[in-house]
Structures are given as structure tokens and as C-alpha cells.
Structure 1
Amino acid sequence: MMALAQRTGLEDMPAASPSGGRLLSINNYHYRRGGAEVVFLEQNRLFEEIGWDVVPFAMRHPRNLPSAHERHFVEEIEFGHAYGPLTRLRHAASIIYSREARARLRDILAEARPDVAHLHNVYHHLSPSFLPLLRQAGVPVVMTVHDLKLACPAYTMLRDGHVCESCKGGRVHNVVVNRCIKGSLPLSGLVMLETTVHRTLGLYRDTVDAFAVPSRFYIDKLVEWGWPRERFVHVPNFVDAAALRPETQAGDGFLYVGRLSPEKGLDTLVRAGALSRQPVTIVGTGPMEETLRALAAETGADVRFLGFRTGEALHEAIRGCRAVVLPATWYENAPISVLEAYALGRPVIGTRIGGLPEMIREGETGAIVPPGDAEALAAALTRFAALPSESLSAMGRAGRLWVETDFSREAYRDRLLALYASLRGGRR
């Protein structure tokens, strides 16, 4: 396995040509479903703009974006659908090792050899079954680490709303003991089997040349769980700041954007809103919505629920607040919502957990508070509510400048070009 010279940055990599390659870009879904899909699709667009031939490989799905390569996509597997018992059994086998994905990938290689393959999320739907074919064909493989699946079978290192590292040291049986997958014994057992098979076959460890990781925290955590540091390269996420108009005047109240689920710390935000008597707006949907509505009524918090918003409607909501709040209680990676807030000229209040502290400069672009501490968060809300408009605008400008320099489309593209060049050079 090629080493990456014991680094987590790209400072010593050779310069890369901006054009003239073929990228095999791989992800379960080919539409904007979540953060990983946004990065996957925007990365494809970035490379197409500089003349690369981008070949996507994904699962067929009714919401997929059009693709000339869709004939190679694998059969749809959508959890929660009412499949028959034989189909469910076949899907279970594919989750562990998809023969179809392997066959489809072989067809792609027969048609055109890519210069680089870049994986995003392939768990469950595609599976890593095709990775040995890429290695046999001499195609360098990069994988973006969007979550902690390489260490935690359940992705999140979270159980019952709290950080959990019970599977550390190979003790993956804990995923069954604790029923980590949707509280289901069968699903948890399937994921334990999936993890065991993939690790035994070395389907990630022995086939991926480099892991691109958006946060330094995730690198440190994976190393702590036994991965060699030299396999990881820090490649921060990006946002197209040029397409986002920043607001220069301070807004009103505080805003959360994202999924309404326990690990997001939204109960802490509601309680902090009640303690500080500051208005809070929540944008998003998820399983906690009714619980949060009840908590707001119980505490007297001034909370508005706007539901799902995207595009300009979402951007207007962000521009209208004093600060965006991310009260996470789990190991966040590198949320794009932070970068979008900065690009729109808003400071960010986040918790001291996961990769969030890397993305917030205390007093310069926002504030950092302990996770799960409603009183500390309430104090931050009160302080930001009292700040002069110019102070908030200065934070917004600092965040915007940071995005334009370190988290731009061009910076992301150039980091990947340098990484690809180092791998291709090594293979030559």
C-alpha cells in the first residue's frame, strides 16, 4: 500500500495539471440527498468545469439527476420499502457484498480506464465489493470520509444520545448488544456481519490509497481507533461563496438548520432559548419535531419551526438571523452549514465537540460552548443579542473572508488535484 509520507496536508505534493483526466466518481445516490451527496455532485461539477471526463457510478433511484452513464448504475435498495422476503434476503447479501456492483464496475473498466476513482458513501447500497477490481486495474482510489463508519459500525459513535466508543479495539459485537441500528436486533446483526466481512477481506484497508478527511478531528479519532495516520489527508469541505450574497446588517434571533434528531442537541437549544428569552428559529425536519414543539411549549421558549427549506428561501432565513447555532452533542465532522453561514455573512455559535471547534474562531467568527450545557448556550445567546450590529457584521465579514480563502471551490479542487497527482505519479 502506498504511503503518503506521514502527512495530513498537501504542502509537499507535486503541482497538478488542472485538466486532462478521467474521474470515476462513486456514491450511493446521484441526487442531493444530504451533505455527502452535495459534496459528491459539486465535486463532479468542479472537475467537469476544468475539462475532466467525470464518470459517475451510483444506485438507480427515481430522484437521480440525469446521467449518460446510468446504464451502469446498480439496482435500487431503499430501506423502509415494503420488499418481499426474497428481495429482502437478496438485499441483505448485497449490503455485505454486492455482486452486481462488482459486475457493473467491471463493465465500466472495460469501456474506459479512469485515471482516479473517488469514493464518497458506498456503504450498504453499493458496498465495497468492487474495490479490489480497481486495485487490480492499477487505478488509484481516494475515499472521502464523511462519517466514522471506518471505525464505528453504526457510523456515528453515538448511542442513546451520548457519545459511544464501545466497539473500539475490534469489539464490534457491541453493535448487536446495544442494538445500535434503529433499535433492531436483525439490522444490528446484519451490520455487525457486514463490518466483520469487510474488515476480514480488507476491502477498505487494503484497497483505498488515500482517505480525504474534512476535519482534523476525524483523522485523530480514526488514528486513535487503529488506522495509520499516513493514510489520511486533510481536505476541508467547500462552499461556492461567489453564488451567495452576504448580509451586512445584523438580523434578529438565532437560527438552527439541519436534521431534527437527538444528536443535534436541539433540546439544549430550546432550553437555552427559554433561559435567555431569545427567539429561536428551527429549519429542518426529523423525528424530534413533535418532542421539540412540546418542550418549547413546556418551557415557554419562543421557537418557530419553519420546516424544510432550500435554495434562496433557506439563504434568506440565514441572512435574517443574528447567528447560526449548531448545538451538537455528537462527533460532527465538518458541517457545510457552518460554511454557508459564513458565506452569507453570519457568525456561528457551536459546541466544543468533533470538528466544530476547527471551524469557529472564538470571538472572531463566532463562539464555542460546551455540548449539552443549556446555561452556557443561553449565556452565549444573551451575549450575541447584546452585541452591537457592527460587531456582528465584523464577525460575518471575517467568516466570509475565511471561506473565500480556505474553504473555496478552487481551494478544494486544487487540494484534490494535488492528491490525485501524487497518487498517479506513484502508480507510474
Structure 2
Amino acid sequence: MTAATQNRLLSINNYFYARGGAEVLFLEQNRLFEAVGWDVVPFAMKHPNNLPTAYDEYFPDEIEFGNDYGLGRKILSAQRVIYSRQSRAKLGRLIDAKPPTVAHAHNLYHHLSPSVLSLLNERGIPTVLTVHDLKLGCPAYTMMRDGRPCDSCKGGRLYNVAVHRCIKGSLPLSGLIMVESYVHRWLGLYADTVTRFAVPSRFVLETLVEWGWPRDRFVHVPNFVDEKRFSPDDPIGSRFVYCGRLDNLKGVESLVRAAALARQPLTLAGRGPDEARLRAVADAVGADVRFLGHVDKADLPAVLQGARAVVAPSECNENAPLAVLEAYAAGRPVIGAAIAGIPELVREDETGALFPSGDVEALAEALGRFAALPDARLAAMGAAGRAWVERDFTAATYRGRLLDLYRTLTGGRLQ
């Protein structure tokens, strides 16, 4: 395939390093398409942690809300959150230099801003946006408030994000996001520019349809895992494992309390804003908790393969947690909260078990039950999960689904 005929993917995300789940998918997707000969051109925000790239001269300046900027910089950042002219101008230069066959965006809220989507639409570039959360309906991403489902903004009542101070409990931040959301809707920066939305879970897809989005704009594209990184044949371990952000919304405190109640050992892999409080809770309730901190990609398989079961205890509207697929790839069953997209990924008594989200006693009962199950039974559940991954959630399957979508959007003109 020559450079003149090579397919080119313009791959867009706020960050160009593995900051979170969306970034991991973005970077892995880039590698998948490079592996089959595509020219992948990234577009992201400048950041000191970014991976090396020949295209960073086209990246707009960094915005970090936690930084102590002066008043002038804060005002400029607020304007760029709503509509970044700099992102749009920089992307225009990049498109001129490297015209893409198709564009695929991931997270661009607040940093790059959807100003880039209107430019792609004006240039006639087919554009896919992967929906990693519920931002298209809820300005605060979650459709939850005070730990309960919330539909206050349904029907365009976006002022409620400021009324309830949904963004970090801050009226200024919530007010800014309210203005951002109204401007984006008025200008149609998502509704009128994105060709198709790729959605990892049916829960998020159906929820957004219920909130008024046309169903034919969405395509269900499940997440994937590189199953070859994992060995599913290791002996079943004794400790229950959680991998992810140490954040109360993820249900980690409930998990710590349930582990203490069930008298079961627990390992937490990850960092987050609630780590110090979780350590204090573990000490107070006498839980046997091992805090591993951040676990590198290369070390994660060993952590999961040494588990008795992996727990996904979320208390928020999860989309399609990658940790569940990684557990299956490692040959381990999953104990998952029955909330949002998690039940789609757990088959009761076949690949794991579900419990009511936030119910500490029910989670403790599930931990105790899995602790008492024979290792052979847990291995059988893990094997069922592994077989499911190999059938539906491999990297090759994911790439094939996107290629089919890209062919549709380009009229079959891919090389």
C-alpha cells in the first residue's frame, strides 16, 4: 500500500497518554489500526505526560482545571472550554497537512472542545465519536446525584447542573458547564456534526435514546481486551481483587466494608482521590486490605491471575468497564454491581454473579459464597468468561467492527 493510497485515521482525544480508561482505548485503537497499515494521525492537547509524537506542533495548549492559573488565564480557559478557536485552528492546519480518510474522536469535552467537530463536518470528513459516558444527556456525565439516579436535566433543563452544583460542588464550575452545555446544544456541535456515535454499552445507548437522541445515530461497539497478554490457567488465588480508580463513585468503600464483614482478604490496585479515606476505613473496620497503588500494564495480568474473583462494585452509571473484560481474559469470574452497563457483562452463575449496587451486606454474602466455592467451580466460571472474550471482545473483533463502520461512512471507499 503506497502513501498515496494509504488510509489515514485522524484520532482525537484530550490527552495523548494513558490517563484513564478512555485514553487507554484511544491509544490501543491507534495501535490496532497502525498494525493493519493505516496512517494514524493523533490530535490532542499539549501535556507534559504526552507520549512522543511527530504531530505535537499541531496540539493546542494545555488546560488543567487543578492548576493555579491567574485571572486572565482562567478567563481564557473558560472560553476555550465552551468553544476553542485555538483547537479548531490547529486542527485545520493538521488536516491541511494530513487529510484524513475518517476521523474518530474519544473524549474532547472541556479541553479540545467540540469546536473541532464542526470543522470536521465543514470539511466533509466522516466522523465517529465514541461515547464514553452520559455527557450527551447529562452535563455532569453521570445522570446521578447524591448517589441516586437523576433526570433533572432531561428535556433540556440544563440549568439544573448549576442549581444542584453538580460539578465538584462548585457553583462557578457548575455554572460554566451549564453555559457550555447550552451553547453546544444551540450550535448543534454534537447533534449536527458527528456522523455516528459508537457506544460501548447498550445501557448508555438506550439511555441516550430515551433522553431524545435518534437511535439511528448510534452503533453498539463493545470494548475489547488483548487477551494474549493474559494467562488464564494460573491456580485460583485466595484474595478478591479490585482494579480501578479509588473513588467513592466506584463503590470501593462499600467493597472494603463488605470484605471486613465477610472476613475476606482484598487487594486494591489503583490510585484515586479517596485512597487516604479508604485506608482509614479499612483500619477502622478491621479489613484485610492490600493497597497496591498504580499497577503498570505489564504487571496487571499477574495481579488478576492471582485473584479468587475480581469485583466491580460501582455505584455510578458505568458504561462498559474494561476491568470486567480483563478479569475474564485472566480466567477469573466477576462479582459485579447490578448497575448501568455491568449486568451486560456478567452472566449469573456462568461467568460470575451480580449484587444490588451499594448493598454492603449483599456484597459480603457474595464474597463469602465465592470464598467457599471449590477452586474448580471458579476456574470453570473464569474459563466461560475467557471463551466469551475470545468470541466477542478481542482486539481483532473490535477493529473489524470499526472497519465495517468506516466503510459504511465512506461509501466503501477504504483502500
TM-score (norm: length of structure 1): 0.93
Q: How do 1:286-325 residues align onto structure 2 when only pairs under 5 Å count?
A: 286-325=272-311
Q: Which residue of 2 aligns with 1:4?
A: none
User: 1:59, 1:74 within 8 Å by CA — same for their partners in 2?
Assistant: yes
User: 2:407, 2:413 within 8 Å by CA — same for their partners in 1?
Assistant: no
Aligned partner (choices 80, 100, 110) of residue 114 of structure 1: 100
Q: Residues of 2 paired with 1:249 and 1:286: CA distance?
A: 30
Q: Residues of 2 paired with 1:111 and 1:302: CA distance?
A: 56
User: 1:248, 1:393 within 8 Å by CA — same for their partners in 2?
Assistant: no
CA RMSD of aligned residues (A): 1.5
Superposed CA offset, 1:237-271 (max 9, x none): 01111122224321112111111112111222122
CA shift, 1:297, in A, is 2.5
Higher RCO (CA < 8 A, seq sep 6+): 1
Q: Which residue of 2 aligns with 1:386?
A: 372
Superposed CA offset, 1:170-227 (max 9, x none): 1111111111111111111100000000000000000001000000000011011111
Aligned partner (choices 24, 27, 39) of residue 10 of structure 2: 24
Q: Residues of 1 paired with 2:302 and 2:82: CA distance?
A: 43
Does residue 86 of structure 2 align to residue 100 of structure 1? yes
Q: What code does the residue aligned with 1:270 have?
A: V
Q: How do 1:276-295 residues align onto structure 2 when only pairs under 5 Å count?
A: 276-295=262-281
Superposed CA offset, 1:30-62 (max 9, x none): 011000001101111111111111111111111
Count residues with an aligned counterpart: 410
Unaligned runs of 5+ in 2: none
Q: Following TM superposition, where does structure 1 have runs of at least 4 consecutive aligned residues deviating by more than 3 angstroms?
A: none
Q: Which residue of 2 aligns with 1:125?
A: 111
Among all aligned residue pairs of Structure 1 and Structure 2, give the percentage whose two residues are the same amino acid. 62
Aligned partner (choices 39, 42, 65) of residue 56 of structure 1: 42
Q: Which residue of 2 aligns with 1:259?
A: 245
TM-score (norm: length of structure 2): 0.96
Q: Residues of 1 paired with 2:413 and 2:230: CA distance?
A: 40
Superposed CA offset, 1:310-366 (max 9, x none): 223332221111000011111110111111111111111001111000111111111
Does residue 216 of structure 2 align to residue 213 of structure 1? no
Q: What code does the residue aligned with 2:116 have?
A: F
Does residue 160 of structure 2 align to residue 174 of structure 1? yes
Name whichever of 148-157 and 268-277 sits farther off. 268-277
User: 2:224, 2:322 within 8 Å by CA — same for their partners in 1?
Assistant: yes
CA shift, 1:426, in A, is 8.1
Name whichever of 190-199 and 266-275 sits farther off. 266-275
Q: What code does the residue aligned with 1:82 have?
A: D
Q: How do 1:26-425 residues align onto structure 2 when only pairs under 5 Å count?
A: 26-425=12-411
Q: Residues of 2 paired with 1:241 and 1:383: CA distance?
A: 28
Q: Residues of 2 paired with 1:243 and 1:309: CA distance?
A: 15
CA shift, 1:137, in A, is 1.6
User: 2:229, 2:301 within 8 Å by CA — same for their partners in 1?
Assistant: no
Unaligned runs of 5+ in 1: 1-18
Q: Residues of 1 paired with 2:372 and 2:257: CA distance?
A: 19
Q: What code does the residue aligned with 1:344 have?
A: A
